[in-house]
Every structure is written in C-alpha cells, then in structure tokens.
Structure 1
C-alpha cells in the first residue's frame, strides 16, 4: 500500500517515505526537519577566508612573486626625500638603461651604475612648469647620499637570491636553512615576505623552538611597515576571495593567534582590532569576521544591528558568505538569533538569491527551499527543482534529499524510483537523517532496486541514532522481519570487523 505525503508548510522539503513496512506500520510522513545549515559558529569564529596556522604555505612561491617582492622594496614608497629608482624588472638591461638615462631619455630615474650623474639635469623652465603642466622633477630634491643609497640598494636587489633560496628550502622541509635565508633577506632588503615567514616559523616551531612572542615581533614588522593608503591597499576581487597580500596575511595570522591564545593569553579584543585593520588594508571579507564577532560577542558585546551593518558592507563588496549569513539572519535561521534583526523574508530571499548566483551551495539550497515552500514568494517548485539539482550535483546532502523526493513522487519531474534511491543513498552517506530513513524504506520495499532488509535495518538504525522519530518507531517492526542471517549481516554493517594489519 502506498500513500502520498504532503510537504510541510513549516519545514523544509518533506521526504517521501510512503510505503507501509507492515500492516501495523502505516506510511508516515518523513519530516525533513532541516533548516538551511546554520551560520559558522561565531563562538569559534571559523575565519571565512582568514589564514590558517599550518605547517605548509597556502601557495607555492614562483619567480614572479620574488620579482614582485623586489619591486616592492625598491618602490618610491621607501624613499625619504626623492622617488629613488623605478621598479625593478628582471627584463631590464643594465647597460641599455644606463645609456637611456645618460642620454636624457629618462628624466627622473637614475642608474645604479652611475648614481651621481645618470639623469638629465632639468632646465629652469622644466623645474617651474606652467599651471596644469606635469613636471618630472621631484618636488623634493634628491641628495647625492640619497642617490648612492638607492643605487646600492638596487644593486643588492638585482643580485640577491636569498628570498628564492629561502622559499626553496622551506618547500623542501629544510626549515633551519629557510630561517637563515629569510633572516638574510630581511637584513639585506627588508622583505616583508621574509618577516612573515619568520613569524610563521617561530609560531610553529619550524627550524627553531616555538616562540609566540618572537613570532609576534616578526608579524608586527609586516603589519607596521610603511603603508600607502592608495598604492598599498588591496583591490578586493570577489571572484578571488582568498587573494590577499603579505600585509593582510600577517594581520589575519596575528588575529588568529590572539583569538586562539596560542602560546599566550587569549585576547579577543585585539583579534577584533586586527580584523578592522585588515579591513583598512582592503580585505573586505574582514567585515564578515567583524559581523560574526558582533553576533557572538567575541571581543565586543553582542549587537545584532552592528553585525548586520558589517555584513551588509561585506555583501556589497561581493563576499558571498556574508550574503548567505544575512539571508539566514533575516530568515531567523541563525542559532541564538540576536535581538534587533527583524524577520524579513523578502530580504532573506534577495540575499540567498545573490549568494546562490555566486555559487554558494548553502544559499542555493536555502533559496530553493523558500521557492519550494512559498516563503516570502509565490510557490515555484519548478524553479526550486532547478536549484536543488544545482546544489545536489555538487554534493549538498539536504538538496540531494529534497531532489529525491521529487523523483519519488513524480512532482515536476517524471517519477523515477531508481534515481530517487540513488539520491537518497548519496545524502544518507552524507549523514542526512531523513535520507537515511527514506533509503531504509525503499530498501525494505524493494523500490528502485533490489530488496535488502539487512541494509534497511542498518540505515534505519543510523537514522534513529541521529534522532529521527519515524526511524525509532519503524526499527522494531523491521527487526521483527529480519531472518537470523539478515540480522547478522546488518550487525556487521553497523559494526564492521577491524581490518587485519
């Protein structure tokens, strides 16, 4: 006997376990009691995009990165009284550049081969341009000592190999050598990359005893380095949310140390200050971290409106986790929902939709659910199916379970029990309780494939362990139907024998 089951109007998609297991167990609606996955636990502050403290670099260093590091230390931002040299480029030819400068083709820069006489001397008219004209002459004159210092620095940078050697040693696991080469690079040219890596080495005890205070000293060398609010600020690209620079990486790593209390007393207030600093440096996802701090009271009292303000700014910059979290807040789907944030299904749907279009699976499922149930929008199951499928094929277990119910019932899509069973099984393997029970029902009845009472009992047992009420009620009925062989096989599934070594 089969019996259709209606979807709940208050819960997410109701799973369709519709077959009776026996004459005493009528088909019962499977309550799919899922809400969209809760926001990352703010108390733990799982840093969305923050740097993890691990023993491996998050990305390998290639020669272009080292060239960029040299460019940075030779930039005009390091000059005290003049623009110094142009940026270093591996493609520059020393002789050609010297010739061009001596010949007067390059007005401002000068060569490290002839620091005292390489640049053309500007005429009086050039030093006093008419209004609106550009003058290549520095506003502050460069002294001979300035030129000689810049020339020496440039010469060292051209010949220096310490940074590449340091990263090579690090990647090879030779941390003692890496530390020595990073220290050499810092002493020679003040590479921020070297200071960052020295901070990591001291923090993790790689090539040196773990020393958090020393690590903090090195990280502060990067965080407190000379900073130009325009030239040095990160240009955040929401298509590459993990792209950061050395200064931001050091700031986020320091914040993580302060929050975790690794080798020191925890200081959530300092972590929050550092997230704000990372935001000043151009890391827009820091607003998501700040919003989470206000939600959970990390380093600050709980404040719902301030959390929304920070998250809204992050969402406006294109950070999809912020969009998803805003959707959950306006949907009142966040555990321990803070006061001061009104239920607003229209806004929730808008943020879910924006995050879904950006590829966020949680938002895709949540938006599909709203369309499925008609929350804040007219019911549109045909649109919901499209979104459920999009999330399901990428492994979202809630979406897999929801999509399976459509194939089971034949609503919107043609009925296909084999596909429904495959989807329930995929979600069940992902520990989705409703899918576990639904799969058990289909296995017990032989729907969409072979009948397997032992497997049905095993999945029903697992669903019960997850707190599934229907599974708890069905389990005794299933147990009564098992043969001794089937019971033994079910027990073996639930408690597999240890592998022999």
Structure 2
C-alpha cells in the first residue's frame, strides 16, 4: 500500500503544513451536512436502441439443424466472421454463398424474411415451387438453410412479436401479487425462453417471493440464463461511465459467483465461484476480471499469485476500469510481488484519477504535494484533493480541512475547516477525528464541547491513532461525572 501522508495541523500536535495555491471563494467546496454527535460504531467499523421491423427476422444458423452458414469456411476468415457476428448475413452472404443471389429469396443464407409471408407473397415468383414448407423441405442453398428452417424462424418470430406474457408478469409483480407473477414468469420462459423471465424466477425463489425461499431453485433458474448458448454478438460492451452496467446474462452469472463465494444458502465454494467469475469475464463483464485479480492477489483459497492478479487487473485497466488501475498503481508503487516501479505506478494512478477514482485522486494529490515521483506542485495537489474530497475520500477531506485551517494560500476559514474535519471524521479518518477534537477543545470554528472532544479522541484511539491516547486522558480529567456519563452513552449506546 502507498504510505499515507497523515496531516496533523493543530496546536497540540506537530504541524504538517500543506502549501496550496489561492482558490476563489466561489470555487470552494461546501462541506456536506453531518450530525454533531457521531455514530461511534459506524465511525470505527467501517445500447443504443435499434429500431427493428418486428415482422422481419434474419435467419440464424442455429434456427434449424440444416442451417450451416459456417460450413466449409475458415472460422478465421475475417469477412465471414464479422458478418456472422453482426447479424448472420448481410451483403457478404451474397458474394460468398450465393453469387448473384436474390435477397428476397427466403432460402438465401442471411436473407431477411417476414413472418407474415415467410415464403413470399402471392405476387412473388417462387419458381413454381409453391408456398408451403412441405413443398421444398429437402431443398437447400449452398448455406444449408431449408424451407423448414425458414418456417421455424418465422414462426418463432411471430410468437415473439405477439407475446405479452413477460410484460404481464412484470405488471403483476409490481402489483405485489408474487405467486401469480411467479406463474407468469415461468409461463413466459416456457413459451419464449426470455432470459429476463428466468432471472426474475431466480430472484423470486432466492428472496422467497411468491413461494418459500428455495436456493436450489434459484440456482436452477440462474443457470438457465448463465449457461444458455452464447452468441458472440451479445458480448458485454464496457462503458467506463457505467462500469457496473450488465446484461441479464452477466447479472445471473455474477449472482451465481456471489452465492458460491459467500455461501449464501449453499456450502461456500470459492472454486465454483471462480468458475462463474471467469464465465462472466469471458462474456465481457470487465469488473469480473477485477474480482479475479483480487482473488489471486489476496490468495482467496488459492496460492497468492501476484502475476496472475496483475494480468487480470491489466485486462480490466486497459478497458478503463478504475479500481483495477488503482490496484496496479499500488502494486507497482510498493513493489508488491514485482519490482518497484514508481513511474509506472504514477501512470496507473493518474489513469484511475482521470476516471474519477476517489482514492487515486487522493494519491495523485499526495504525490504532487510531496514531489513523490511527480513534480512537486501544490496547486495541482489541491485540485486533486478537492476532487477526491467531493467524492467522499476521507484523507482528502482531512487534507482540504487542513488548508482551511492553516490559511496558507487559502483564506483562513475555521468554520469550514471544522466542517470538513467532521465530515472526514465521520468517514473514519483518525487524523480528522484528532483534529476535530482539538478544535472542539479550543472552541475553534464553533462552540467549545469537551464531551465531544473526548468522544472523538477515544474514537481516534480505537481506530489506532496512538497520539490520541494521552490527550484523551487529559480531557477525561476535565470532565464532570455528568459529562463523562454523556460521553459514555455516545461511545456505548444502549441497543435498541
């Protein structure tokens, strides 16, 4: 881990003064509202929509066993693969499979047909072959599709287009009639095979909605989604702006992984959990790679393997997943299982900070502040601290409070300093607890309050800040019996 640069600025401690550039008053971040009395226990434990003609369906190679679009072609033929991944067909089909073919011919591979007239209308020339599937069931094109395939694909598309069971199931679910919703979701799945229906069934069985909780049934329905045939064109598209957005399939897969990882209703099985995390990553859900990195970095029932962890973190980090970028920064900064490389660490931390990762913002600010690897630049440090503080990063909030307290290169504002120290203290930052206690003792930035000063010093001590111990003892000697009782009530609240 990076060395944390602790800031203690008040008169009763050694002063670490952070230089910062002037900031216009209107640019100052307002401190969030906090409760003046801490919760002691909480403080210490801490796609683009595509318009489609729903009557039209592009025949899929899997819609009939005789459809063999890829037969005879190398799977590494880029043109063929690209066309297949996009929509099984397109202009390339004509050139490769049926030179000079007519796109209106329903048997042409990749042809688009309408389920209301899959074999053409009466006005079309069907080569005298009739218009029912039975007329040419054995006829195939070079791609392998028969009229039976056309009929199957068209029939399913027609059912899908007219089906209302999934919508009805969600309406009933929202109304609170869970037993009926359970019935409708199962009917919807049996009729069409909606992933959404299976996933809802899984969640309802896991939560005990509409039926007694049944983890086994929940897992059964999750696997219906997670183990369904995977179409490469359905690979997850990672969006750094919404990194945890996921499809129903990814959601089901990650839910399975979580169940086995935590032992939620089943024996805990990290190996099975890893299998599902790998599955989620294989379909493009990038955060799963980060979790796999954590598993190998921390040795979660596997040997610690930093090299494997780095590989997973790098895969996710290259997509712009900031938690992985941050972890890589920490690993290279400390030389954790790899040669120390501060410059590489700074690059990964800068990348994570650019993506808004709160801890990375703080660490980059700290590096600029100290001239650690990055050039010393107090103005840049303040910018990073401010951004991290606004994202609720406790150490950065403490640093920002320090600027307001010291008044160096910022207008001195004890009221604002006290507010930010309180925010950071409530977020579990021990130095902020200490600093806030000193301000409460001295009546700086607000009224004097020895009781709360003692409470915050004890919480800082409980959080591991050794210097708080002696000061807490001094404050305790100044408290009346009534004040000490009030402090004890805050530190040891009566269970509700």
TM-score by length of 2: 0.74
- Matches of 1:217 and 1:495 in 2, distance apart? 45
- Matches of 1:252 and 1:486 in 2, distance apart? 51
Aligned to 2:372: 375
Tell me which of 5, 8, 16 is aligned to 1:15. 8
**Residues 213 and 490 of structure 1: CA distance in aligned 2, closer, same or farther (over 3 Å):** closer
Q: How does 1:288-437 map to 2 (within 5 A)?
A: 288-298=290-300, 300-332=302-334, 340-437=337-434
Q: Which whole-Å deviations, capped at 9, do the CAs of 1:2-31 have from their partners, x for residues lacking one?
A: xxxxxxx9641322121xxxxxxxx33279
By how many angstroms is 1:473 displaced? 0.7
Q: Which whole-Å deviations, capped at 9, do the CAs of 1:351-410 have from their partners, x for residues lacking one?
A: 121111111111111211222222222322221111111121232221111111222223
Q: Secondary structure at the match of 1:292?
A: helix
- Matches of 1:175 and 1:417 in 2, distance apart? 56
Q: Which whole-Å deviations, capped at 9, do the CAs of 1:319-357 have from their partners, x for residues lacking one?
A: 11111111122223xxxx95x222222222221211111
Q: Secondary structure at the match of 1:15?
A: coil
> How many residues get paired?
416
Aligned to 1:76: 60
- Matches of 1:31 and 1:345 in 2, distance apart? 24
1:214 aligns with 2:217: yes
**Residues 243 and 375 of structure 1: CA distance in aligned 2, closer, same or farther (over 3 Å):** same
Q: Which segments of 5 or more consecutive residues in structure 1 lack a partner in the other structure?
A: 1-8, 19-26, 33-63, 88-102, 124-136
Maintained 8 Å contact 2:395/2:429: yes
**Residues 407 and 209 of structure 1: CA distance in aligned 2, closer, same or farther (over 3 Å):** same
How much is the aligned-residue C-alpha RMSD, in angstroms? 3.6
- Matches of 1:375 and 1:361 in 2, distance apart? 19
Q: Which segments of 5 or more consecutive residues in structure 2 lack a partner in the other structure?
A: 18-48, 70-86, 88-102, 128-139
By how many angstroms is 1:152 displaced? 2.7
By how many angstroms is 1:483 displaced? 5.0
Q: Which whole-Å deviations, capped at 9, do the CAs of 1:283-311 have from their partners, x for residues lacking one?
A: 12221111111112235321011111110
- Matches of 2:176 and 2:467 in 1, distance apart? 54
Tell me which of 236, 241, 247 is aligned to 1:234. 236
Maintained 8 Å contact 1:15/1:402: no
- Matches of 1:363 and 1:173 in 2, distance apart? 44
Q: Secondary structure at the match of 1:29?
A: coil
Aligned to 2:257: 255
Aligned to 2:148: 145
Aligned to 1:442: 439
Q: Secondary structure at the match of 1:331?
A: helix
Q: Secondary structure at the match of 1:285?
A: helix
- Matches of 1:204 and 1:74 in 2, distance apart? 38
- Matches of 2:56 and 2:179 in 1, distance apart? 26
Of 310-319 and 153-162, deviating more is 153-162
Q: Secondary structure at the match of 1:110?
A: strand
Of 176-185 and 443-452, deviating more is 443-452
Aligned to 1:4: none
Aligned to 2:25: none
Aligned to 1:49: none
- Matches of 2:218 and 2:188 in 1, distance apart? 17
By how many angstroms is 1:222 displaced? 1.9
By how many angstroms is 1:213 displaced? 3.2
Q: How does 1:42-121 map to 2 (within 5 A)?
A: 76=60, 78-80=62-64, 81=66, 108-118=111-121, 120=124
**Residues 164 and 471 of structure 1: CA distance in aligned 2, closer, same or farther (over 3 Å):** same
- Matches of 1:452 and 1:418 in 2, distance apart? 15
1:29 aligns with 2:14: yes
Aligned to 1:157: 160
Aligned to 1:463: 460
Maintained 8 Å contact 1:331/1:343: yes
Aligned to 2:196: 193
- Matches of 1:260 and 1:452 in 2, distance apart? 44
By how many angstroms is 1:175 displaced? 2.2
Aligned to 2:173: 170
- Matches of 2:10 and 2:155 in 1, distance apart? 78
By how many angstroms is 1:253 displaced? 1.4
By how many angstroms is 1:181 displaced? 0.9
Q: Which whole-Å deviations, capped at 9, do the CAs of 1:465-496 have from their partners, x for residues lacking one?
A: 32322221112322333456655654565466
- Matches of 2:157 and 2:68 in 1, distance apart? 13
- Matches of 1:289 and 1:473 in 2, distance apart? 42
- Matches of 1:437 and 1:484 in 2, distance apart? 23
Maintained 8 Å contact 2:104/2:113: no
**Residues 486 and 299 of structure 1: CA distance in aligned 2, closer, same or farther (over 3 Å):** closer
Tell me which of 202, 224, 245 is aligned to 2:205. 202
- Matches of 1:404 and 1:196 in 2, distance apart? 47
Q: Which whole-Å deviations, capped at 9, do the CAs of 1:46-70 have from their partners, x for residues lacking one?
A: xxxxxxxxxxxxxxxxxx89x99x8
- Matches of 1:418 and 1:401 in 2, distance apart? 14
Maintained 8 Å contact 1:236/1:283: yes
